[in-house]
Amino acid sequence: MSQFLKVAKRWLPGALVSILLIAAILYFVDIPKMIAAIRSADYRFIALAFVLSFAWLAVRGIVWRTLLRNRVPYREVFNALNAGYLLNAFLPFRLGEIGRAFLLSRKTDLQFAEILPTVVIERSMDLAFTASIFLASLPFVVGASGANRIAIILGAVVLAGLIFLYVLARNDAWALDTFHKFSARWPAIQRFGGGLLESFLTGLGVLTDGWIFARFLFWMALNWGMAIISYYLTIRAFFPQAQLTWGMFGLGAAAFGGAVPSLPGAVGTFEGAFGGALTLLTGDQSTSLAVALTARFFNYLTSLLLGGYALSREGQTLSGIYRQLMNLRLKPKPTDVE
C-alpha cells in the first residue's frame, strides 16, 4: 500500500492536469460540430499525412542509429524505438525513453548506460528544434508574443545543457577522477557508480566527433521538416486556408504540450496545446479539436502497429516491461567482471 501511495504521488499531479484539460475541452467544444468536421475532412490529405508518419519514424530510426555510431543494426534500432513510443503512449513517467534503451541493450553488446546518453542528446535536440520552429512561426501568429519569451528561455536552457554535456564528454577523465575522489568514502557507490559513469561518458563521446554529430543534425533537421509537413497536411484536411506556418505553430505547441505533466501519452495536454494553437489561428474550437484528435489517432495507430510488433518479437507485454523498468537496476555485464 505504501509503495502504491509513493507511486501515486508521482503520477497524480499529471493526472489532475489531464483531467482538468479534458473537462475544459468537453465544456467549451461543440461535440456534434467536431464530429461533423471529422466526417467532412479531406481524407486525401489525411492519407498523405498518415503515410508520412511512417516515413518520419523510419528517418527517426536513422537519427538514433547515427548517435549510436551505426554500431547497431538498423532493424534493432527501429524496433526498440517503436517499442519505446508504444511504452510512452500507455505507461507513466515517460518510461518509453528508458524502455527503448533497455530493450536495445538486451539485443546488442552495448550497455544500457552507454545507450541512455544518446536518448538524452536526441531529446535535448528535439527541444532545441521545437523552440526554433515555434519561434520561427510566432511572427505569423497574432497575440502569441508572450510565448516568444518562453520559447527563448527553453531554447537557452537546452543549449546550456548541450554545452554542459559537451564539456563533460571532452573532460571524461577528469569527471571520472573527480567522482572517484568524492565517492572514496562509499566503496559500494564507487563500484556501482564508476561503471555507470564510465559507460555514460562513453555514450556522450558522440558529441566530440564532428562528422557524426553533423550527420546527426542533418537527419534531425530532415526529420523535423517531415513533421512540419505532416502536421500541415493534417491541418489542411480540415482548414483549406491553412498555411505551412500553421503546421510549424501547431507542431511547436503540441511538442510543448507533450512536455507538461499529464497522463501517459500526453492525454489532454496534447489536445489542449495543439487544439488551442489552432483555435488561436482560426477561432474554431470544434474543428481544431477534430484536427488534434486526428493527430492523436495517427500517434496511437503507428505506435500500436509498429511498437506492438516490436514487443511481440521480444515476447514482451506492456505490463511485463513496466515491471522490469520499475525494478531496473544497472549492473555490469558478466564479461565486464573479473
If pLDDT is split at 50, 70 and 90, which confidence band does 45 have?
Answer: very high
Compute CA distances 298 → 68, 112, 221, 284, 303, whole Å.
28, 30, 21, 22, 8
Q: Could you give the 3-state DSSP secondary structure of residue 315? A: coil
Beta bridge partners of 263: 267
| Cell (9 digits) for 25 | 475541452
pTM passes above 0.85:
no
CA angle 223, 81, 47 (to 5 degrees): 55
CB 277 within 8 A of CB 232: no
- pLDDT given at position 264: 83
> Is the pLDDT reported for residue 8 higher than 70?
no
Q: What is the pLDDT of residues 204-259, one digit of tens each?
A: 777 788 888 889 989 999 999 999 999 999 999 999 999 999 999 999 999 888 87
The pLDDT confidence band at residue 337, using thresholds 50, 70 and 90, is very low
**Most distant CA pair in the chain, distance:** 68
How far is the C-alpha of 234 from the C-alpha of 224, rounded, in Å?
15
Report how far residue 274's alpha carbon sits from residue 268's, in angstroms, rounded to the nearest whole number.
10
d(CA 259, CA 134): 14
> What are 73's three cell numbers?
543494426
Q: How far apart are CA 275 and CA 84, in angstroms?
A: 25
What pLDDT is stored for residue 331 in this prediction?
Answer: 46
- Rg, the chain, Cα only: 21
Pick the closest to residue 322 from 264, 268, 260 (CA basis): 264
Set of cell numbers at residue 84: 519505446
* Burial tier of 183 (Cβ tally within 10 Å: 0-12, 13-18, 19+): middle
3-class secondary structure, 277: helix
User: Quick one: DSSP state of residue 267?
Assistant: B
Q: What is the pLDDT of residue 321?
A: 83
